[in-house]
Amino acid sequence: MNVVIYTPSKSVKGRVVIDYLFRNKFFTENYSVSIITDVENIDFTEKFGSKFDIYIDDGKIPKNLTKIDFIVTLGWGGILKNDVISKANCAALNCHSSMLPDYKGGSVYHHYWANCEDFSGATIHYLTDNLDSGKIIAQSLFKLNFNDTPYSILQRASELTGPLLVEALLKIQLGYQGEPNNGGRYFLKIKSKYQVIFYRMLNCCLKKIGLRKKLMPYKSIE
């Protein structure tokens, strides 16, 4: 099975997940991987180029990738065009660092931290035109600690994502269609690091005295 992964060369999630796949004997024996990244990065190429083919994104699928079973996005900031997504014979997937359907949006590990949440998670879902809204294929939950930081939340979610991605690929090959991903909250783009710190301090105080937290700005999804 041929898998094409879209990930920025400096993405924490991308590097953690690809490193897991790189070291996973079952995966490397059963899947062929091509990586499409944003810019040339010598360190990235030296680390993963011995097993995986690496290409620089130009908005199109490389011509020599004629048979693609899965397309996977890992921390990919851009939206893939439909003519790219349609190249996947089995499925196009996104790896999201939250427990969908809640906490949709970009870089939500910052929002989890700022909102003083007790749990976070990781989800693999079908890639669609609507952000983070495709059916859920696999996900896992983990408990947050007071000493967690936005970076540690992202790191922990990324470490869950590798095994979840392998699980999702197998489930799809067995005919699994996924679970609904309706509703939830879409958290808006962060304006500055000071906004995150302010909400963190506020919500920690409110939580400690038993009052309702004031969450970072979001939109409810019907």
Domains and CATH numbers, the chain: 2-104+119-183 (3.40.50.12230)
SS3 assignment, position 117: coil
What sign has the CA pseudo-torsion 214, 191, 197, 116? positive
Bridge partners (DSSP) of residue 123 are 96, 139
Residue 206, token pair as written in the block:
């409110």
pLDDT reported for residue 5: 96
Tens-digit pLDDT profile for residues 65-87 = 989 999 999 999 878 888 889 99
Tens-digit pLDDT profile for residues 188-207 = 999 999 999 999 999 999 99
In the DSSP assignment, the letter for residue 205 is H
* pTM for this prediction: 0.94
Mean pLDDT of 117-142: 95
